[in-house]
Amino acid sequence: MNGGFAEPKGFFNFFRFLSVVNLFLHPRRLWVLTLLGVLSPLFSVSAQDADKGKISVLVVLSPEGAEEYGEKFREAVELWKKATADAGASFDAIGLEPGREDDREQLEARLRKEVANPEKEAGPFWLVLIGHGTFDGRTAKFNVRGPDFSDLDLAEWLKGFDRPLAVINTASASGPFLTTLAGEDRIVITATKSAFEIFYARFGEFFAKAIGGIEEADVDNDDQVSLLEAFLYSADQVAQFYEMEGRLATEHALIDDTGDGFGTRPDWFEGIRATKVSKEGAQPDGERAHQFVLVPNEFERRLSLEQRERRDKLEQQIRDLVRKRAEIGDDAYYAQVEPLLLEIAQIYESVGLSSDGEKKETEAKAGAVDKKS
């Protein structure tokens, strides 16, 4: 990388932003953005505090049951580990250390510790369950060495949990975890729609592959795979698997990121947008999950935690306005959407979009970003 120019990857978010502008801004208003210089995509780099907003990934692994599953689970754990390393996030696993029978206690202690001593500037916490689920007709549980734990146990341990949270339960019979764990600033993904889908779930195998950033899963081509995209990709792979085998699918994944406990099925999405909701008046799922990315693209890495959070909020407000547009009328819509777009433009500008149309000398050397990644 030389001077203020980013490698091509860095442009993806810029184009994503422009496409947002094109969709939502009145054509006559484009001059405002031109004034701001955001139509001159020249990049420079600013140094960021690497640890702020750092993601923590905690994987909990079931005992293998049958050997063929054990191998698949361990493979998935390795993929998660690698993706987490690529992301510069912290990785932790329960269920790997030989000879232990207290996985449930370990998980409870780990989560309660997080509740008691929240890391102030930490980013999202991702809890990933890889393995077998069980259902005895009343309670759905996740299988670990020693006593298993249920959705209700997990909900109890997570009371007061303050970090943005993603729970990804890739096991069979995981559906109840979505209903029980749904909440504000939480994303819950389950491999099955209910507790009755008790057969081995393949969803997690595909999910572990996708989350590291494979191209096939990158629906919006911004060079990163969001939680939502990993969900959509994995569900699609599962569906294809059963279709090819000529068998009825025994697993149907769900996602909830609106906190209402009503999950959305993958086939209700067109691209990355949900076109249906499971209850009248409910917010569509998927928008928040599309803002959760484990391995960010080059451009995204330049934004500070505050900038990302602010941008995410602004994007959300813009989508809410789009939904209300017919109700509030065009004039009000444009009046309200414009300042939001301008603020996003300013955020992007501050990490490298030139405001004067000329190439800026970088304040921090471009290499600083490369070293971090």
Q: Which residues bind Ca ion (CB under 5 A)?
A: 218, 220, 222, 256, 258, 260, 262, 285
Q: What is the H or E stretch that residue 372 is in?
A: helix 366-372
Is the Cβ of residue 218 or residue 287 nearer to Ca ion in the bound state?
218
Element (H, E) at 134: strand 133-135
Q: How far is the CB of 221 from Ca ion (least distance, A)?
A: 7
User: Of 215 and 356, which has the nearer Cβ to Ca ion?
Assistant: 215
Shortest Cβ contact with Ca ion: which residue?
Answer: 258
DSSP character for 30? Answer: H
Nearest to Ca ion of 131, 284 (CB atom): 284
Q: CB nearer to Ca ion: give 19 or 34.
A: 19
Minimum Å gap between C-beta 172 and Ca ion is 22
For the bound state, the minimum distance from the C-beta of residue 110 to Ca ion, rounded and expressed in Å, comes to 27
- Which CB, 11 or 149, lies closer to Ca ion? 11
- Residue 124 CB, shortest distance to Ca ion, in Å, is 17
Q: Which is nearer to Ca ion, 110 or 265 (CB)?
A: 265
At its nearest, how many Å lie between Ca ion and the CB of residue 14?
14
The residue among 76 and 289 lying less far from Ca ion, judged by its C-beta, is 289
Nearest 5 degrees, angle CA 320-CA 325-CA 330?
135
Q: Which residues contact 96 (CB under 8 A, 6 or more apart)?
A: 61, 77
Q: Please, what is the minimum distance in Å from the beta carbon of residue 256 to Ca ion?
A: 4
User: Of 231, 211, 218, which is closest to residue 294 (Cα–Cα)?
Assistant: 211
Q: At what angle do helices 203-211 and 227-245 cross, to 10 degrees?
A: 140
Here the contacts of 231-238 (C-beta below 8 Å, separation 24 or greater) are 231/189, 231/207, 231/255, 231/266, 231/289, 232/266, 232/269, 232/272, 233/206, 233/207, 234/203, 234/204, 234/206, 234/207, 234/210, 235/203, 235/266, 236/266, 237/202, 237/206, 238/201, 238/202, 238/203, 238/206
Q: What is the largest CA-CA distance in the chain?
A: 68
CA 363/CA 365 separation, integer angstroms? 6
How many Cβ atoms sit within 10 Å of the Cβ of residue 117?
Answer: 8
Closest distance of CB 185 from Ca ion, Å:
13
Name the 3-class secondary structure at 57: strand
The nearest distance, CB 189 to Ca ion, in angstroms, is 12
Q: Are 234 and 264 in contact (CB under 8 A)?
A: no
